Structure 1
Amino acid sequence: MRFAIVSITKNGVILADKLSHKLSEDPTVIQVDRYVGDVKDTFMKIYDDYDCIIAIMATGIVIRTICNLIKSKETDPAFLVIDDNGKHVISLLSGHLGGANDYTLKVSQALDANPVITTSTDVSKKMGVDALARKYWLSLSNLNTVKALNRAITDGQILDLYLPTRYDFVEENEIARNTYKFHYWDDNHIRVDFEEISLILNPLPLVAGVGSRRGVSDKQVLNCLEEAAALLKIPVDRLDIISTGEMKKDEEGIIEAAWSLGIPVEVVSVDALEVYIHPDLKPSILVEKKFGVVGVAEPSALITAGDSSRLILSKTSKNGVSVAVAVSGRLY
């Protein structure tokens, strides 16, 4: 996630500094930038460059400034508004697909503030189909059906949800259980049905890049993978591939952990790691000194995920194991 924080007052700047520091400590936050003043010009310049824009100012200022920039659910970033005293965090735009509702909860927790979310499905304790897609990293085949399906959910209808067998973890989610009737099949895609309306959702590949000290156990690797998945608020079973560097291809702890999860392992060559460049990468001085590459976990995840990949979890380390997670493709 890439955040921009825009403020205009003295109190706003102080609050932006505090929030920037808090977000920078979160491994699911890949980038945080701050901007001060000249709201109209700033919003125009950054509108398409961030996943979430946080405006510390009056809601009216934001609405009047961005009304001509808003395009569609497919392209608009999440927009949050925070008052100068940091008491309220408002989800203003792109609540589900853009993630504004989730970001509102994250930011309000960081500031000990009151989250303000007005999306009908959320306030009804139901999971909209776009929220389902975002939570489990599923691409939506047809956005035109989302509004009708979410209206049915808000009206108290139970929708039919067809899942691959390995996605039985969705049924453990209480809000999902309040929203869907579960069916299982052998197809790899997911389908939501209500009356004559049908929506296909396709899982986006999630790749966990893993690096480690020599001789780590499978338990150490599993623990780190589970903690990484928990940070993303997904079950570890949602991961599709474990990727590592060629120098770790014979590491039994990594191989055995992948086997126990039923997840394939892909190995990235040292040559590929040496030349790989990506804006999400945070080079490791230790790894570069030892192996001559910028890292193992992050670049392995990104390379395996493919050309359209991006990090959704920067490298986290525990007990000699490092894990980063990349996703390939977009939700919509």
Structure 2
Amino acid sequence: MRFAIISVTKEGQKLASDMELVLRNDPTVIKVDLFHKNVKDTVSNLFNDYDCWVAIMATGIMVRIICPIIKSKLKDPAVLVVAENKKHVISLLSGHMGGGNKFSIKIAGVIGAVPVITTATDLNGKMGIDALANQYWFDVKQPQLIKAVNQLIAENGKVDLHLPSRFRFLENHPLVTRSYCIHIWEKSFIRASLPGKEFENELDLYPKRIVAGLGSKKGVAGEQVFFAIRSALQHLHLPLERLDALATVDLKKDEEGIIDAASKSDLPLEIVTLNEISDFKHVDCTPSKLVQREFGVQGVSEPVSLIRAGESSRLILKKTAYNGVTVAIAVSTN
């Protein structure tokens, strides 16, 4: 995720710096930038460059600034307001689809505050369809039905949710089972069905492609690679079944540990050539001096994950080392 933290006072600026130190060590945080004062121009000009804005200031200031620039709950970034005394973190905008509610919990944990969440489904211990889409990286095809689905759930109704067998893990998610009647079907996408006319009340979710890129030392065991993959996914609160593929560089295509982990994961292992990596440029990639020295390319796990996730992909977990194995995870944005 990409965070922008903006402050207006000296005390707020200090709090912003403290937040930055913690967030930069979070593997799910790809970028964090600090801004001070000039709030209207900064937010207006850079609003959609970040996934989440953390405003350390009065709520009214941010309300007045964002009102003219917000466009859609499907596209607008999350906006949080943090009290300067570190007591509360308010999820102000894009609580579900933009991840504002979960970001408010994250930031509250960083500074020891109480998250303030006001969405009805969350208050009733349920999971809205847009929150489900955000958590598991699903693309919503009929967004006009989100309100109706969430309203029924908030009023203690249950929505029929048809899942491909690969997503059976959702049957064990307590918030999902409180909100939906689960059905397994043979199609590759997810469908939420409301009572009423067929087709007119069906909301479809299509899984975005998620790829874990792997790098490793020579001779690493399959168990180590498999542990690294599972550990990386835990940072994202995703199960192994949500991955679409593993990827590595051609120099590692015969590495038994990686092959064994792919077999155990029941996932395809996709190979990226050194030439592909050499020609690849992406703002999310962090160059590795060691890899550059040994192989002549900027890195392995990050570029291979982005390349195999597809065009317009982005990192959701930056390269993270686990006992001789490096993992990065990317998702397609198409």
Normalised by the shorter chain, which TM-score bucket? over 0.9
Establish whether residue 136 from structure 1 lines up as the match of residue 136 from structure 2: yes
Matching residue within 278, 301, 306 for 2:305? 301
- CA deviation map 1:92-133 (0-9, x unaligned): 000001110010011001111100000000111000000111
Matches within 5 A, 1:18-97: 18-97=18-97
C-alpha displacement of 1:136: 1.1
Query: Displacement, 1:65?
Result: 1.5
- List aligned pairs for 1:153-232, cutoff 5 A: 153-196=153-196, 197-232=201-236
Give the match for residue 244 of structure 1. 248
Consecutive unaligned residues in structure 2, runs of 5 or more: none
- More displaced, 64-73 or 223-232? 64-73
Residues 216-269 of structure 1 show CA distances to partners (whole Å, capped at 9, x for unaligned) of: 111001100001110000111211100000110101111111111110010000
User: Which residue of 309, 313, 320 maps to 2:317?
Assistant: 313
In 1, Cα distance between equivalents of 2:182 and 2:63? 40
Q: Deviations over 1:310-329 (max 9, x none)?
A: 00000111110000000002
Task: Name the counterpart of 1:274.
Answer: 278
Match of 2:268 among 264, 273, 281: 264
Equivalent residue number for residue 109 of structure 1? 109
Amino acid at match of 2:234: A
Once residues 114 and 37 of structure 1 are traced to their aligned partners in structure 2, the CA distance between those partners, rounded to angstroms, is 25
Once the two structures are TM-superposed, the CA of residue 74 in structure 1 deviates from its matched residue by 2.4
AA matched with 2:305: A
Deviations 1:158-216 (A, max 9, x none): 11111111111111111111111111111111111120221110111100000000111
How far apart, in 1, do the equivalents of 2:24 and 2:214 lie? 22
Q: Which residue of 1 is the match for residue 119 of structure 2?
A: 119
CA distance in 2, matches of 1:80, 1:326: 25
Q: State the distance in 2 between where 1:228 and 1:124 align.
A: 30
Kindly state the Cα deviation for residue 72 of structure 1 after the two structures are TM-superposed: 1.3
Please report how far the alpha carbon of residue 75 of structure 1 lies from its aligned counterpart in structure 2 after TM superposition. Answer: 2.2
TM-score, L = length of structure 2 = 0.98
Cα distance in 1 between the residues matched to 2:246 and 2:254: 14
1:8 matched to which residue of 2? 8
User: C-alpha separation between the residues in 2 aligned to 1:119 and 1:253?
Assistant: 45
- Larger mean CA deviation between 60-69 and 90-99 belongs to 60-69
Once residues 34 and 46 of structure 1 are traced to their aligned partners in structure 2, the CA distance between those partners, rounded to angstroms, is: 12
Deviations 1:8-66 (A, max 9, x none): 10100000000011111101000000000011111111111111011000001111121
Amino acid at match of 1:268: V
- Identify the match of residue 326 of structure 1 among 322, 327, 330: 330
Distance 2:313 2:176 in 1: 28
Tell me the number of residue pairs that the alignment of Structure 1 and Structure 2 aligns.
330
The one-character-per-residue Cα deviations of 1:268-293 (angstroms, maximum 9, x if unpaired) are: 00101112110000011111111111
5+ residue gaps, structure 1, are none
Q: Which amino acid aligns with 1:159?
A: V
Amino acid at match of 1:73: K
Q: Using the alignment, how far apart are the partners of 1:131 and 1:7 within structure 2?
A: 28
Measured in 1, the distance between the counterparts of 2:322 and 2:68 equals 46
Separation in 2 of the partners of 1:282 and 1:113?
32
Instruction: Work out which of the residue numbers 291, 294, 297 in structure 2 matches 1:290.
Output: 294
Please provide the CA RMSD for this pair: 0.8
What is the alpha-carbon distance in structure 2 between the residues aligned to residue 62 and residue 105 of structure 1? 19
The residue identity in structure 2 corresponding to 1:243 is A
- Partners of 1:59 and 1:165 lie apart in 2 by 44
- Show structure 1 runs of 4+ deviating over 2 A: none
